Amino acid sequence: MLDRAAILEPAGSPAGELAASLADALHPEARVLHGDSLAALEAGGAADAAGELLVVVHEDAREGASEGADLIAAVRARFPEAVIALATEQADPGQMQRAVHAGATDVLVLGPDLADQVKLLVAKLDRLLEVVARSRRLGEQNERLSRSMQARSRIVGSSPQVRRLVIQIERVARIPRPVLIVGERGTGKELVARAIHFASEQRDGSLVTINCAAIGESLLESELFGHERGAFTGADRKRRGQFDQADGGTLFLDEIGNMPLAFQQKILRVVEYGTFRPVGSSAERKTSARIVAATNADLKDRIARGEFLGDLYDRLTFETIDVPPLRERPGDIEILAQLFLDQFADEIPAFRGKRLSASALEELRGYALPGNVRELKNIIERAAYRDTTNEITPEDIGLLGAPAGPVPGAGGFKAQIAAFSRQLIERALQASGGNGAEAARRLDLTYDQFRHYLRKHLPGGPPDRG
């Protein structure tokens, strides 16, 4: 709401009419400044009003024809966002033209209906200020969201492996070509994809993520390419696909190693030519989306077994980024553990003030962390929750006696593998609270595979509650 206005008019001008009209149109707490120069306006504190300022310049017909225009130009130079209105005794076209050229946005004609003109002008400005304030709030929210997303794409670590990774990301981000990210589960492949996006020229575009392993073959084409209305049963409206949504940005294809072989040929065409065809459409569409793919599978082995297209692999690997597992960079474990503890405390203030003991950190460094960064984050959050003091101990970490792998000498090869399989299943179920689907994900198995191994190795063991 407009809370400050100013009247500038030559000394000796008849006062009262403009001031009364403004006072009547503004809300009761609004302030109306009065003066005959720009200096008087500044002395009255007009600079504090920023863009929410209405300045009415009264051009007295007795003064020179350029008097009002000169004052308007000076006010516009000092207050570029202010609304400036010319008040005059008569609507002379030449006078109005000079005022507009000098920076005026409105004209008020002194006379019987001046009060109505001023009310209309103030009401218009109030609506404009509401729109500006709303736009400013949205801009601030978008800026906070952008900063948050960029913070989430920050690669954390001080090891030589991480420094090389960051350099590789920065180099390839500038080149609008496909990238393949490889690494074990939980190493942060999506984080690397985000870092590439925000370091690239496409950072202002959308970053769209799709997990190729989570969507069935029958739905994957519609999900990626979109579909026309009536393309199949249930397609009651046209739908944009992920390639459309990522146009001008980045499309992250996670778990691309799980993409059906028949569909890989269609992705190959998009990678090669930047064109695709929505389901049910006869027209091709173009996309400028940059493709970043990720996998924890050995694609060369899958190519050899006829499960992945060699041509698609060649197109995706303009650059291949290998994300190192945590066991190869143990120096980063403490940095990441502290980061996750700080983030957890920021999210839940009740956990502020907790710290990791030296023995807890030693316990973490001695653990293989098969789930890598993702597992470390879960361990730290659970430890902070379990801890009843302000110092997190090895007991809170909960890795005491955690198996590191098959024990040599404990039976033959098959017996050791079976024993280790049981340990893996038990730990996955424990970590997931008995949820089979979550346990399967932790072990990088399908749910059916997990159920098979559960029946095989733990026939009378804990039930799957997922």
What does the pLDDT average to over 328-339? 93
Closest residue by Cα to residue 376 from 387, 367, 388, 385: 367
Of 261, 290, 324, the residue at which a domain comes to its end is: 324
Judgement on whether residues 127 and 58 belong to the same structural domain of the protein = yes
Give the model's confidence band at 189: pLDDT under 50 very low, under 70 low, under 90 confident, else very high: very high
Closest residue by Cα to residue 70 from 32, 108, 41, 38: 38
What does the pLDDT average to over 396-416? 61
Give the model's confidence band at 51: pLDDT under 50 very low, under 70 low, under 90 confident, else very high: very low
Question: How many beta carbons lie within 10 A of that of residue 16, not counting itself?
Answer: 7
Beta bridge partners of 293: 180, 253
Task: Judge whether 339 lies within some domain.
Answer: yes
Beta bridge partners of 438: none
| Alpha-carbon separation of residue 158 from 155, 164, 334, 419 (angstroms) | 10, 10, 10, 37
Judgement on whether residues 198 and 311 belong to the same structural domain of the protein = yes
Exposure class string for 391-400: b at 16+ Cβ within 10 A, else e: ebebebbebe
The CATH code of the domain that includes 391 is: 1.10.8.60
Q: What's residue 433's pLDDT?
A: 77
Task: Judge whether 193 lies within some domain.
Answer: yes
> Of 5-19, 348-362, 447-461, which gets the smallest average pLDDT?
5-19
Judgement on whether residues 128 and 15 belong to the same structural domain of the protein = yes
> Could you tell me the residue range of the domain that residue 447 belongs to?
405-466
Tell me the one-letter amino acid at 41. L
Of 402, 435, 451, the residue at which a domain comes to its end is: 402
Q: What's residue 286's pLDDT?
A: 93
Q: What's residue 66's pLDDT?
A: 56
Q: What's residue 111's pLDDT?
A: 80
Judgement on whether residues 109 and 30 belong to the same structural domain of the protein = yes
Taking 80 as the threshold, does the pLDDT of residue 214 lie above it? yes
Q: For the whole prediction, is pTM greater than 0.75?
A: no
Closest residue by Cα to residue 363 from 388, 328, 343, 392: 392
Sequence-distant (6+) residues with CB within 8 A of 111 are 89
Q: What's residue 176's pLDDT?
A: 94
Task: Judge whether 59 lies within some domain.
Answer: yes
Structure tokens at 39: 């200096």
Of residues 218 and 435, the one with the higher pLDDT is 435
Judgement on whether residues 329 and 318 belong to the same structural domain of the protein = no
What helix, strand, coil percent values describe the chain, rounded to 5? Answer: 50, 15, 35
Taking 50 as the threshold, does the pLDDT of residue 30 lie above it? yes
Taking 60 as the threshold, does the pLDDT of residue 312 lie above it? yes
Judgement on whether residues 315 and 344 belong to the same structural domain of the protein = no
Task: Judge whether 390 lies within some domain.
Answer: yes
d(CA 253, CA 293): 5
pLDDT digits (tens, 9 = 90+) for 57-101: 777 654 545 577 888 888 888 888 778 888 887 777 888 888 888
pLDDT digits (tens, 9 = 90+) for 231-247: 888 888 888 999 999 99
Tell me the one-letter amino acid at 404. A
The end-to-end CA distance of the chain, in Å, is: 55
Task: Indicate the number of domains in the chain.
Answer: 4
Q: What's residue 150's pLDDT?
A: 46
Of residues 249 and 139, the one with the higher pLDDT is 249
Judgement on whether residues 415 and 388 belong to the same structural domain of the protein = no
Please provide the average confidence, as pLDDT, over all residues in the chain.
83
Tell me the residue length of the chain. 466
> Of 174-188, 224-238, 265-279, 367-381, which gets the smallest average pLDDT?
224-238
Beta bridge partners of 285: 276
What does the pLDDT average to over 266-272? 93
Report the Cα 378 to chain-centroid distance in Å.
22
| Alpha-carbon separation of residue 18 from 45, 81, 141, 262, 447 (angstroms) | 20, 22, 40, 77, 78
Judgement on whether residues 302 and 370 belong to the same structural domain of the protein = no
